[in-house]
Amino acid sequence: MGSVKNVVVGITGGIAAYKTIEVISRLKKLGYEVNVILTKNACEFVTPLTLETISNNPVITDMFNREVPWEVEHISLAHKADLFLIAPATANVIGKIANGIADDMLTTTILACTSKKLLAPAMNADMYANEAVQKNIQRVKELGFEIIGPESGMLACGDIGPGRMSEPEQIAAECERILSSKNDLEGKKIVVTAGPTIEKIDPVRHITNPSTGKMGYEIAKAARDRGADVVLVTGKVSLAKPSNMKVVEVSSTKEMLDAVLREYDDAYAVIKAAAPCDYKAKDIAEKKIKKADSNMVLELVRTEDIAKTLGQRKNGQKLIIFAAETNDLEKHAVEKCKAKNADMVVANDVTLEGAGFGTDTNIVKFIFPDGNIIKFDKMTKRQVAEKILDEI
């Protein structure tokens, strides 16, 4: 029994609380021990008796209950948790956590908990869109909380929009993913690049590409969750800054190269998932280029070749590079792997549906310098990230 992992499930006062009964049932079936803490308001939606029966443990609702055997319950539960889940997480509890408020058993326990934490927000779409709520969600992410959902759809109040708690199956799967994450990269420094670079033409114009950074950010988060010391070198993207890693923001390809080189010597691996521009304007105009009626020719020159530079300066580091191709994928990827002295190329045909820029999924092949190829079906970008880290 010593190896049974424990999930503390906090339930707050939202209509989705009834769905958490199924989350707990699924967690139990997956073999986890579950302890439940209800807020006072959650008891209006679900009963302690139901949760006690389903979790097979006493349910805690009151910080000052003298009937349970004496121990500092909020501290012992905080220590016991391998994962702390709050589902549903009301706007109220997210706001409290974001600000370190501990005025009941749930918020006090989570403040004392140093384990992994997952929130499943659920609320009315207008509440969710409220600037204060969005700021609080951003803050809890910075504090290291993971967030699942909310999903868009028809809400209990009749509104349509984002605010629905994720489905119990998804939440249980996310708990399992977090709890079963390996720690096989502990103490290893992994540098990940993500997003596009920007090359200026004049003060108001630039060259860039549609990379959203999703793939690189998923790799960085997966490496962090496997214990790595992650440095994420990122171009301008609209994704939330991931917690518990060093994030270096860059603009041009030259800045990206310099940032990676600063981290390179003691890196265990560099994973280049960014889409740096290959060309830049030969001269950046100091003033806005005036438009004329005639065509104009812009002379472009090569940007710094980040992969090639890293390949040349390799001193034991593992170098993984991405190749986005639109034709002759395998041929180009093998050539690229050799030319850049890389250990593996993650090749994706960006013309396929479900692959490439902006999608949540990707279809990749791993290509090695000896010509070996591993092909995968469509996977989420997180799954692709885990496969890459498995190879490392």
Chain positions contacting ligand FMN, by CB under 6 A: 12-16, 39, 41-42, 88, 90-93, 122-123, 127
Nearer to ligand FMN, 15 or 300 (CB): 15
Identity of the residue, 23 or 190, whose beta carbon is nearer to ligand FMN in the bound complex: 23
CA distance 235 to 212: 9
SS3 sequence, 314-364?
A: CCCCEEEEEEEECCCHHHHHHHHHHHCCCCEEEEEECCCCCCCCCCCEECE
- In the bound complex, what is the minimum distance in angstroms from residue 117's beta carbon to ligand FMN? 16
The least distance separating ligand FMN from the CB of residue 287, rounded to whole angstroms, comes to 52
Q: What is the DSSP string of 261-298?
A: HHHHTT-SEEEE--B--SEEESS--SSPPPP-SS----
CB 313 within 8 A of CB 240: no
- The C-alpha atoms of residue 167 and residue 120 are separated, in whole angstroms, by 10
Name the catalytic one among 157, 175, 277, 337: 157
| Shortest CB 133 distance to ligand FMN, Å | 8
Active site residue 157: yes
**Distance from C-alpha of 85 to C-alpha of 107, rounded to nearest angstrom:** 12
Name the minimum Å distance from CB 155 to ligand FMN. Answer: 8
Contact between residue 264 and residue 313 where contact means Cβ atoms under 8 Å apart: yes
Q: State which residue, 32 or 84, has the beta carbon closest to ligand FMN.
A: 84
Structure token pair of residue 350 = 């960006």
- Closest to 261 (Cα-Cα) out of 221, 310, 304, 210: 310
Of the candidates 192, 272, 260, 259, which has an alpha carbon nearest to the alpha carbon of residue 226? Answer: 192
Structure tokens at 187: 């103490």
CA distance 285 to 311: 33
Q: In the complex with ligand FMN, which residue's Cβ is closer, 13 or 149? A: 13
- Nearest to ligand FMN of 39, 55 (CB atom): 39
Check: CB of residue 161 under 8 Å from CB of residue 152. Answer: yes
Of 91 and 256, CB closest to ligand FMN: 91
User: Annotated catalytic sites, by residue?
Assistant: 157
